[in-house]
Amino acid sequence: MTRVSIRFFAAIAAFSLLAACGPDDSGREDAQDPPETAAPADSAESGIRIDVSYQTLDNGLRVVMVPDSTIPTVTVGVYYGIGFRIEPRDRTGFAHLFEHLMFQGSRHAEKGEFDKLINGSGGVNNGSTRFDFTNYFEVVPSSALEPVLWIEADRMAFPDITQEKLANQQGVVANEVKVNVLNQPYGGFPWLDMPQYANENWYNAHNFYGALDDLEAATLEDARDFHDRYYAPNNAVLVIAGDFDPAKATRWVEKYFGPIPQGDAITLPDISEPRQEEEKTAAKTDPLAPRPALAFAYHMPERGTDEYYAMALLDQILIQGEDSRLYQALVKDKGYASGVEGGINLLGNMFNYDGPMLWTAAMIHGEEFTPEEIMTTVDGVVEGLRAEPVTEAELARARTKLLSEFYGVVDSPTRFGLVDLLASFALFDDDPARINRIEGGFDNVTPALMLETAEEYLRPGNRTVLRIEPGAAQDQQ
């Protein structure tokens, strides 16, 4: 048996005697013990209970705190209610470009300081732009929480964006698009392509990564307007999770974020999608692709409805894991492809969006199989779910997979998955404690409800089929 301890810093060696007596040390000795809230093994009811506190500052900033001292790090997430869906019409890709600009320095921390602070204290950070939010997150040793809150507040209030920085990040983002889309076979397939074909409303159907000329056209004035409109505390959620003292953290949050002025209320445009009646098909030529590819997508039931939870279980049965019906039919029986991948919200998960969404499946397949042949097999699987209720055993298996996946999200040293769920539930539902009721939504799902859901949402008329054809021809519809 060995017992080892990893030290963060040399300094700790000199101070360790002192620290061992200090009040902040109490959580350390038993850090390896399982949390008390943890339940006995196995039972699906056991669950994990997450101790969530939630408050709103006077300026409208929503603050979620979840203390847990198992690992001596703390994770901070700042989520703004601005996703690429609602970016300006003549500025595709702007929400994402602006995300980059938020790392370019702020009034009290010049360019480069942000990464120096986070990396230099032993942490990592990043940001991302998604359908309905832009997020910024970092995980650092517990002792670095205060400076992290300070610098997040500084860039929320006073990002320092200049023409030079804008031009620099226009170059970086153009390279990002090239490396992920333009110079890649199957670049953008299907995550960037499918919403553009399947949706009708511009907000859901434009190029979220951005046309290169739109990115180049962005101005400083665009950036200022965008910040003023969307980056106010009343349009944001701050999550702190991990090893910290909630009383101290509350003081710091009030000190650094409290004085930031509230912004104007935001009026969201109409992002709804009409009910799709007829199946749509599209084809795109990919000069870099050596083999054809095929994707198909269905519009999801509205988030939070009974059908939405039923669809999440249908997702497990259709495509998640090698036991899934599509894997068995398309990969094992027919050998069309080495895998079939997809699910709800390819840029996230079933919880972290707030608007129309697609369920998508995709594969790169052998050129000896036609799309028509593959779709006939798909129809066999899908029509099975629309004709006959699933068995209780298959439903139970789907629930087990979901539960296990949820535990996997929570059990991560960065806690980014946990923070993402908390932030999404705060931002979209004003209810981060919903994380403890995740299983509840699935409890009401019966085989009968799944059948009804499949009848309406897995209709051919609710579907878009996208083919990728290898070769150098023009795009065609």
Partner 1 sequence: MARLITLFALLIALPAGAQTGGNDGDWLAERPKAGEPKNFDLPEIDTVELDNGLEITFIPFGLAPKATISARIRTGNVNEGENTWLADIAAELMSEGAGERTGEEIAIAAAEMGGDLEVGVDPHVTAFDMAVLSGHAPDAIALMGDVIQRPALPEDDMERVKANFIRNLSVALSQPRGQAASAFLGALYGDHPYGRVFPTEAQLRSYEIDDVRAYYEQNFGAERTHIYIAGRFDRDAAEAAIRESFGDWREGPAPLVAPPDPRMGPEVILVPRASAPQSTIYLGLPVFGPENEDAIPLEVTNALLGGSFSSRITQNIREDKGYTYSPTSQILYNYQDGYWRFRADVTTDVTGAALGEVFKEIERLGAEAPPKDEAERTRNYMAGIFVLKNASPWGLIDQIAFTDFHDLPGDWLEDYVPRVLDVSAEDMRQTAAQRLQLDNMILVVVGDLDAIKPQLESLPRLSGATFDIRDETGAPVENEQDAQ
Residue numbers 108-147 binding partner 1 by CB under 8 A? 108-109, 111-112, 115-116, 119-125, 139-144, 146-147
* Shortest separation between residue 73's beta carbon and partner 1, angstroms: 7
Of 162, 168, 276, 436, which one interacts with partner 1 (CB under 8 A)? 168
Least distance (Å) from partner 1 to the CB of residue 15?
Answer: 6
Residue from the set 87, 99, 132, 176 that interacts with partner 1 by CB under 8 A: 176
| CB 376 to partner 1: min, Å | 19
> Considering CB under 8 A, how many residues would be counted as binding partner 1?
121
Q: Which two tokens stand for residue 149?
A: 């809150």
Q: Interaction with partner 1 in 281-340: which residues (CB under 8 A)?
A: 288-291, 321-323, 327-328, 332, 335, 337-338
List of residues 6+ apart from 353 with CB closer than 8 A: 83, 130, 131, 132, 303, 345, 424, 428
Among 85, 96, 206, 401, binds partner 1 (CB under 8 A): 401
Looking at residue 122, what DSSP letter applies?
T
| Residue of 350, 356, 247 lying closest to 299 (CA atoms) | 356
Asked if 118 and 138 count as a contact pair (C-beta separation under 8 A), the reply is yes
124 touches 118 (CB < 8 A) = yes
- Answer for the pair 356, 132: CB distance below 8 angstroms, yes or no: no
Range 317-340 burial, b when 16+ CB lie within 10 A, else e? bbbbeeebbbbebbbeeeebbeeb
Q: In this structure, are strands 62-67 and 236-242 parallel, antiparallel, or unpaired? A: parallel
Per-residue binding letters, 355-394, with partner 1 (x by CB under 8 A): ---------xxx----------------------------
If binding is defined by CB under 8 A, does position 46 make contact with partner 1? yes
Give the residue, chosen from 94, 256, 359, 425, that forms a contact with partner 1 under the rule CB under 8 A: 256
From 49, 224, 251, 255, residue interacting with partner 1 (rule: CB under 8 A): 255
Determine, following the binding rule CB under 8 A, whether residue 60 of this chain makes contact with partner 1. no
Q: Which is nearer to partner 1, 123 or 356 (CB)?
A: 123
442 binds partner 1 (CB under 8 A): no
Q: Between residues 267 and 393, which has the closer beta carbon with respect to partner 1?
A: 393
Query: Which of the stretches 80-88, 178-186, 190-198, 424-432 binds partner 1 when contact is defined by CB under 8 A?
Result: 178-186
What is the DSSP code (8-state) at residue 434? Answer: G
Exactly one of 132, 154, 273, 307 binds partner 1 (CB under 8 A); which one? 154
Contact 238, 253 (CB under 8 A): yes
Nearest to 214, CA basis, from 86, 93, 84, 130:
93
Residues 409-428 binding partner 1 (CB under 8 A) are 410-414
Q: How far is the CB of 244 from partner 1 (least distance, A)?
A: 11
Q: Which of 62, 20, 468, 419 is nearest to 241 (CA)?
A: 419
Please state, in angstroms and rounded to a whole number, the distance separating the CA atoms of residues 154 and 301. Answer: 39
